[in-house]
């Protein structure tokens, strides 16, 4: 067991407050990353200091701890509370390190770093700068962000915008700033994933008609595959649009749905109704999730015409239209559609093969359709045998 392992064990019981059990291991890892970039720094000072810097919070009442946040959105932090945790932290650190027979000169430097790690704006040395940077980097990472955002009384999106403005003022080293920007980008990706999950959950109750509970997850998967080919497209438009584009069918009576789509469709008004109602419902869902208003408008424009508008308004619109139609070519879509449309299977497969160029906009979608249709041709042989033996 190394000396750092021993310090870690001694410090750990003091971390069980203010999410220290999450913060400290992450700060320790960031300290190690920074030390690898700055070999002239002294790890025998930096690593003990980062492990011990917040142990003083164990002696601060829980109801006072968040009032001491320095550098956050709180314009009037309790500096006396922050100072108390620094003073107590330096004292406890000295006791732990002395008990471990740590070098006295190192203990003095570690205590100096801890005693002012939040309230002292300047760094006393490179060692101090690395400790300060390692301490703050968790505020940018996907684990720290959901904890720190409510501490600052902000939702995650506004919090990410806030901490982005603090990279230059909070952090001392160029490497820490690079790490912060990388972490921030990942946190934003995580936020996007989270919002898509929320949109999925909000849309799903509207899918239980017209086999949309099968169609929409497949279309969502095709949308993600197409986005991988088009990094210039905006997934924050495409993915919500595909999840929400058909929710309006829930407002169309089921007896009207059969004649509103498919090769024998005659009721254009009912088809148009599902687009109009889809826009209305999607607007409500996106607003309830505080989705970006500009992006919401583009999503709604795509939904309002995803079937009736034959041309694509943009690359984003093209990908939504393609993802929507691609499920028609696979075994699942064909197996459902030829039965509900009451058409001959062989005729329907030929019909689909002739629609690839007409329906789809992107070369990648056309190729996916051909692959899906070939797969359906193979699997449908068993269906024909079943039909023949019935």
pLDDT in tens, 70-99: 455 555 666 678 889 999 999 999 999 999
pLDDT at 389: 42
In angstroms, the CA 271 to CA 206 distance is: 16
- What pLDDT does 18 receive? 75
At the topology level, CATH places domain 3-189 in Hypothetical protein af1432 (1.10.3210)
Buried b (16+ CB within 10 A) or exposed e, 108-123: ebbbbbbbbbbeeeeb
The pLDDT, as a whole number, for residue 388 is 45
Average per-residue pLDDT in the chain?
89
**pLDDT band with cut points at 50, 70 and 90 for residue 67:** low
Specify the range with the lowest mean pLDDT, choosing from 167-181, 309-323, 375-389: 375-389
Mean pLDDT of 332-352: 87
What residues does CATH 1.10.3210.50 cover in the chain?
3-189, 208-389
**pLDDT of 237-269, one tens digit each?**
999 999 999 999 887 777 765 765 666 656 677
Check whether 387 has a pLDDT greater than 50: no
End-to-end CA distance of the chain: 72
Provide the pLDDT for residue 265. Answer: 58
Tokens encoding 122: 């300047």
CA distance 49 to 110: 5
pLDDT band at 41 (very low <50, low <70, confident <90, very high): very high
Which residue did the predictor score with more confidence, 257 or 199? 199
CATH class for the domain made up of 208-389: mainly alpha
Q: What is the mean pLDDT of residues 304-314?
A: 91
Give the DSSP H/E element, type plus range, for residue 201: helix 174-203
Q: Which of 45, 40, 44, 54 minimizes the C-alpha distance to 175?
A: 40
Name which of 86, 93, 103 is nearest 10 in CA terms.
Answer: 93
Q: What percent of the chain has pLDDT over 70?
A: 90
pLDDT tens-digit readout, 131-147:
999 999 999 999 999 88
Distance CA 316, CA 234 (A): 6
What single string gives the DSSP state of each residue in 19-34? THHHHHHHHHHHHHHH
> Using one digit for the tens of pLDDT, what is the confidence trace for 365-382?
999 999 999 999 988 877
Residue 9 has pLDDT above 60, yes or no: yes
Report helix angle 43-52 to 104-114, nearest 10. Answer: 50
Residue whose entry in the numeric block shows the structure tokens 């299977």:
345
- Residue 300: C-alpha distances to residues 86, 303, 304, 306, 336 (Å): 52, 5, 6, 10, 28
Whether residue 259 contacts residue 315, with contact meaning beta carbons closer than 8 Å, is answered with no
Hey, what are 161's tokens?
């915008």
Residue 65 scores a pLDDT above 60: no
- Does position 164 have pLDDT exceeding 70, yes or no? yes
Give the separation between CA 74 and CA 153, rounded to whole angstroms: 9
Length of the chain: 390
Sign, Cα dihedral of 74, 79, 80, 83? positive
Average pLDDT score over residue span 97-114: 97
Burial of 350 (0-12, 13-18, 19+ CB in 10 A): exposed
pLDDT of 168: 96
pLDDT of residue 64: 67
| Average pLDDT over every residue of 40-47 | 98
Residue owning tokens 């690898």: 36
- What pLDDT is stored for residue 109 in this prediction? 98
């Amino acid at each position: 067991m190394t000396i750092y392992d021993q310090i870690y064990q001694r410090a750990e019981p003091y971390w069980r407050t203010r999410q220290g059990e999450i913060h400290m291991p992450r700060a320790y890892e960031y300290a190690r990353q920074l030390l690898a970039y700055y070999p002239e720094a002294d790890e025998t000072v930096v690593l003990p200091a980062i492990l011990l810097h917040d142990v003083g919070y164990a002696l601060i009442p829980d109801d006072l701890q968040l009032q001491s946040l320095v550098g956050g959105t709180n314009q009037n932090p309790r500096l006396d509370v922050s100072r108390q945790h620094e003073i107590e932290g330096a004292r406890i650190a000295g006791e732990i390190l002395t008990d471990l027979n740590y070098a006295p000169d190192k203990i003095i430097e570690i205590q100096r770093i801890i005693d002012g790690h939040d309230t002292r704006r300047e760094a006393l040395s490179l060692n101090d700068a690395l400790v300060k940077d390692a301490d703050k980097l968790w505020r940018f990472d996907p684990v720290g962000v959901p904890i720190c955002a409510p501490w600052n009384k902000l939702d995650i999106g506004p919090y990410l915008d806030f901490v982005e403005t603090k990279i230059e003022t909070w952090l001392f080293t160029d490497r820490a700033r690079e790490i912060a920007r990388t972490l921030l980008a990942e946190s934003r990706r995580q936020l996007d994933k989270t919002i898509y999950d929320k949109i999925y959950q909000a849309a799903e109750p509207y899918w239980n008609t017209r086999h949309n509970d099968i169609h929409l997850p497949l279309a969502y998967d095709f949308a993600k595959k197409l986005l991988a080919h088009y990094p210039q497209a905006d997934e924050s438009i495409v993915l919500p649009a595909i999840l929400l584009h058909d929710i309006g069918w829930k407002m169309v009576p089921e007896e009207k749905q059969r004649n509103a789509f498919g090769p024998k469709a005659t009721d254009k008004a009912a088809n148009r109704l599902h687009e109009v109602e889809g826009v209305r419902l999607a607007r409500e869902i996106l607003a309830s999730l505080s989705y970006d208003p500009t992006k919401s408008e583009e999503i709604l424009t795509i939904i309002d015409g995803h079937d009736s508008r034959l041309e694509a308004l943009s690359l984003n619109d093209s990908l939504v239209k393609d993802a929507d139609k691609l499920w028609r070519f696979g075994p699942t879509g064909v197996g459902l559609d030829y039965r509900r449309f009451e058409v001959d299977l062989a005729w329907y497969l030929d019909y689909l093969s002739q629609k690839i160029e007409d329906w789809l906009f992107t070369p990648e979608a056309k190729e996916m359709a051909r692959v899906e249709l070939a797969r359906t041709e193979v699997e449908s042989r068993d269906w024909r045998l079943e039909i023949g033996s019935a």
